[in-house]
Amino acid sequence: MENQKFKDLGKMEINEEIVAQTKWCTKNYACLKNPAKVICKVVSCVGEQVLFVQFNKDAFCEYQMFFGNSVICNCPVRNEIYNKYNL
């Protein structure tokens, strides 16, 4: 099922204002170019704003923040991808 979700991502559109808010991205917006490989897996979402993601020690990101034993993603683009496309 997860692979099916990534089939149509060529049609994925993210508001330019949201992309502009993502000023700390050191990966050159890789999640928009090849989301199947680099998007952090969302474990849960609270209130459409707080994304708990699976920790990936090989994929450091300026937007990840540790919260106890969990990792929160504060990336505006990642948040929009999840809320708009449920990915």
44/34 Cα distance (integer angstroms): 22
Residue-wise pLDDT for 17-73, tens only, equals 999 999 999 888 888 887 776 678 899 999 888 999 998 887 788 999 999 999 999
Residue 66, domain extent: 2-85
Binning pLDDT at 50, 70 and 90, where does residue 4 land?
very low
- Residue 48 Rama label (left phi>0; alpha psi -120 to 50; beta): left
Structural domain count of the chain: 1
